[in-house]
Amino acid sequence: MDQIPITVEGYNALKKELEKLKTVDRPENIRAIEIARAHGDLSENAEFDAAKEKQSFIEGRIGELGYKLASAKIIDPDSVPKDCIRFASRVLLENLDSGEEVRYMLVGQEESDISKGKISVSSPLGMALIGKKPGDEVILQAPGGKRSYEIIDIL
C-alpha cells in the first residue's frame, strides 16, 4: 500500500468528511430510499433511482476516504526542512512577468485549493518547484503561455 502524504489539516478535513458521510448523509439516504420504496412500483420510480444512485456515490466516497486515511502519511509543515522546496513547504514566489508576489503551500491533490494558496505537488507549478531553493528561477509552460517565477523564500 503506497503512503499518501497529507498535512495534519488535510487529514482532519478528510476525517470530518468521512464522519459526516457515515453519520449524516448515509442515514438520510437510507430514509430517502425507504420513502421512495413506499411509493410503490420501483420500475418507474425516479425518486428511488436517484436515492440508489446517491447511495452508490456515498458508499464509494466512504471507501475512498477510508483508503486515503489508512494510507495517509501525515506531514507537519513546521517539521519540513527549509533548505529546499518539498511537500508541505510554504513558498514565496515572484512572477517575473508581472512582478507580483504570490505565496503557496505545496500539498496533495486532495487538499489543493488555489483560493487558499494551496497547490498540488503534482500540478505543473508544484512539480517545477520541488527541489528548488531561494534564488532559483522556474519556467513552466502554462495554458496561457510561458510563466517565469523566482523563488524568493521558503517560509
Say which residue, 76 or 142, is predicted with more confidence: 76
Q: Where are the domains of the chain?
A: 4-74, 77-154
The burial of 102, by beta-carbon neighbours within 10 Å (0-12 exposed, 13-18 middle, 19 or more buried), is given as: middle
Distance CA 80, CA 33 (A): 48
Residues 6+ apart with CB under 8 A from 103: 90, 91, 92, 93, 117, 155
Following DSSP, what letter does each residue of 93-146 receive, concatenated? Answer: EEETTT--EEEEEEE-TTT-BGGGTEEETTSHHHHHHTT--TT-EEEEEETTEE
CATH class of 4-74: mainly alpha
Instruction: Kindly report the average pLDDT of the chain as a whole number.
Output: 93
CATH class of 77-154: alpha beta
CA-based nearest residue to 78, from 2, 154, 24: 154
Cell of 13: 478535513
Instruction: Tell me the mean pLDDT in the region 86-114.
Output: 94
Per-residue model confidence as pLDDT tens digits over 27-81: 999 999 999 888 877 777 889 999 999 999 999 999 999 999 999 999 988 888 8
What is the model's pLDDT at position 81?
86
Q: Does the predicted model carry a pTM greater than 0.95?
A: no
Distance CA 2, CA 20 (A): 26
Instruction: Tell me the mean pLDDT in the region 13-39.
Output: 95
Distance CA 91, CA 85 (A): 8
